Structure 1
């Protein structure tokens, strides 16, 4: 026990003398999480959506265009700017000044009304409810609502706009058909014969084990993700310190003491595990107190802290195991530092820290399952977003613990084999 305490004290001294390393471990993650969350917050906002300015060329100037404009404005996603020239609209969109321009064709409202009235009259004639003898049918040309998109516009945005406009036009056509039938059936325009209100509606429900619904926001996504990035980044100073001790002859002196390699690694594990916990605490404090001040959603950790600390401890152990293995195998600091930093970035990329796993290609979704960051991130999301209990996160924390045991065992075996006489 005395040797373990001495090893812990040695690691604390090494960390305290490395001011740059401390800055990387504690200050860099805080700057990173604030910056990324500010950038991504608009993506997650649901209460106050950002309005996109779009151009509208209204050549119809009738009821259809009025209803279309009202429908677009009701979504709270668009700000309509009316201009008179289709050529001007095309030019502005092509230069990237606006993402979208909508051109409503001439006589859209009048021709739609005539076409529907003609179809209704034909139906009444077929069933013998009309005395009309006019057999001539007017042929109407197909109307096209033109959509000019900025070439840089994302495919998902295009589909969303087209589907929204198609829904509005379909609703207009349906209501026009009802109005035409009512006009033929009743002479009283105030009489309500057909209920034109939508019969089917959609309600978005986020599954939750408790009675309340938790709506994910940018803070709930970014705090756990970038906390994990900071935790796993400790493999850089941890591995370089091990390499430095080997090159300076510290390990040789420890072997003459004698001091088991497990005790050396145990001291490092305990110290860096506390570093991980401190990193997590700083991230949580940032989410709870700093984010509301700068206009971001507050991080709600009510009733979740015990489970969050458990996930942090096991994620920290996984990161420490990786750092111990890298430091044991690497021969120089130039090997350990660049490889460690690059490997953390790769684990973060495939683990869902930068891009959510569900938007990745199918092959990458499979690959993400091998990243310990993905296991820890899923456990954090279970606690933050799904209100899971300890039983629910056991699979993830078990994988993290096994990862720590395997990597540490390999490090001990490698060191024993290398130093065997």
Structure 2
């Protein structure tokens, strides 16, 4: 009997949704437009290592060994495209005017002055050991340190600035070390091959592998689950509006005086909107698998992961439905539920890491993010897609999502009974 009542409640929700076909279409179409637009915009950022180069101005006033080494290192990084037909003044104007992100200006006589300084210092050190040196070289005046000028567009990200400055410092440091080592060789008369002296410590990144291929994160792996979650939680708006409509039209009164328990009414809404959530997610996945490759974007790989992804989608949908039920129960008018629902979803998305990765947020915001249901869902998706976790690996996140649903519905039922108590 309860199953039949649940079925009739489900049918009622479908009939309600049929009255607002335009709204339902928006629920499905809006996330698809968002995922395509945002992924296209972000893809160049994720593909920097795959050939997308940043044009920068490089001015070589030294035209000698050091500047040539710096230029060679920049070109071999596959990150920058060097533009050389500029003077320092025109480069400054172009960068400060926003035409380019940065310019590097190598000063005159950089190589000559570095060699002079190194020779003088090495001669001084060698002579302190009582070894024979060229006294004229020891007395030679040390040249003033040269500055490599870096010009940045004022709108350039501070992280990009720091990365470039660290890279240039590292290149100059390595060049100086080699020259110092060579100067000591010349003074001490050793014949060891300089090229054989490599760093004693180096870094090697170990990445996950699929077969013989490295698994590299891309824009699609972030945007498909992120915007699927945004779409799922956006059902808060139509769900809360429908609940408010039921109160204003007297439907909720008829539901309360009928022999059917009120929680069956809520379960009917839950099953109906869960189906919508799953359809939204499947549409997102279909775009990632079938449409993105035609747009020169990476294909979304769900091989062996679809079951786990559907599980996360169901529990994320429950959390969104619970929030929508609470909002629709508390709100008295559509003017209250619609704006608040849309705004709260955007806030949850921002806090949950949909817009900006959580690790880039201030520390107190990272703490707040841990209490966002969107963050739980996003972490569960990441665990499956990027870390190859199974159901056991996402048990904590889906438990939190389910408890969030239970808490929201329980508060809604309590509030509804209190409001209608005689």
TM, length-normalised to structure 2: 0.94
1:127 Cα deviation from its structure 2 partner: 3.2
Asked whether 1:164 is paired with 2:167, we answer yes
**Alignment match, 1:320:** 321
**Alignment match, 1:122:** 124
C-alpha distance 193-269 of structure 1, shift in aligned 2 (>3 A): closer
Q: 2:78 aligns with which of 76, 79, 100?
A: 76
Q: How does 1:96-135 map to 2 (within 5 A)?
A: 96-130=98-132, 132-134=134-136
C-alpha distance 282-133 of structure 1, shift in aligned 2 (>3 A): closer
Instruction: Name which of structure 1's ranges 47-56 and 394-403 shifts more when overlaid on structure 2.
Output: 47-56
**Alignment match, 1:297:** 298
1:124 Cα deviation from its structure 2 partner: 3.6
Alpha-carbon separation, structure 1, partners of 2:100 and 2:48: 23
Q: How does 1:40-51 map to 2 (within 5 A)?
A: 40-51=42-53
Asked whether 1:149 is paired with 2:152, we answer yes
Asked whether 1:247 is paired with 2:243, we answer no
Instruction: Give deviations 1:291-310, integer Å, cap 9, x for gaps.
Output: 11101111111111111111
Instruction: Give deviations 1:190-214, integer Å, cap 9, x for gaps.
Output: x726733333221222468999753
Instruction: Name which of structure 1's ranges 310-319 and 18-27 shifts more when overlaid on structure 2.
Output: 18-27
**Alignment match, 2:273:** 272
Instruction: Name which of structure 1's ranges 209-218 and 297-306 shifts more when overlaid on structure 2.
Output: 209-218
1:401 Cα deviation from its structure 2 partner: 0.7
Asked whether 1:258 is paired with 2:259, we answer yes
C-alpha distance 67-203 of structure 1, shift in aligned 2 (>3 A): same
Alpha-carbon separation, structure 1, partners of 2:396 and 2:419: 35
1:46 Cα deviation from its structure 2 partner: 4.7
**Alignment match, 2:180:** 177
**Alignment match, 1:367:** 368
1:177 Cα deviation from its structure 2 partner: 1.8
Alpha-carbon separation, structure 1, partners of 2:310 and 2:414: 30
Instruction: Give deviations 1:72-117, integer Å, cap 9, x for gaps.
Output: 1111111111245222222222211122121211111112222222
C-alpha distance 133-227 of structure 1, shift in aligned 2 (>3 A): closer
Instruction: Give deviations 1:379-419, integer Å, cap 9, x for gaps.
Output: 11111111112122111111111111111111112222222
Alpha-carbon separation, structure 2, partners of 1:267 and 1:142: 76
Give the unaligned 5+ runs of structure 1. Answer: none
Does the CA contact (< 8 Å) of 1:42 and 1:49 recur in 2?
A: no
Alpha-carbon separation, structure 2, partners of 1:262 and 1:122: 88
C-alpha distance 61-24 of structure 1, shift in aligned 2 (>3 A): same
Instruction: Give deviations 1:92-150, integer Å, cap 9, x for gaps.
Output: 22211122121211111112222222333334433344264435332311111111111
C-alpha distance 210-365 of structure 1, shift in aligned 2 (>3 A): farther
Does the CA contact (< 8 Å) of 1:121 and 1:130 recur in 2?
A: no
C-alpha distance 56-255 of structure 1, shift in aligned 2 (>3 A): closer
**Runs of 4 or more consecutive aligned structure 1 residues displaced over 6 Å after TM superposition:** 207-212
Give the unaligned 5+ runs of structure 2. Answer: none
- Which secondary structure does the structure 2 equivalent of 1:148 belong to? strand
Does the CA contact (< 8 Å) of 2:116 and 2:142 recur in 1?
A: no
Asked whether 1:22 is paired with 2:19, we answer no
TM, length-normalised to structure 1: 0.94
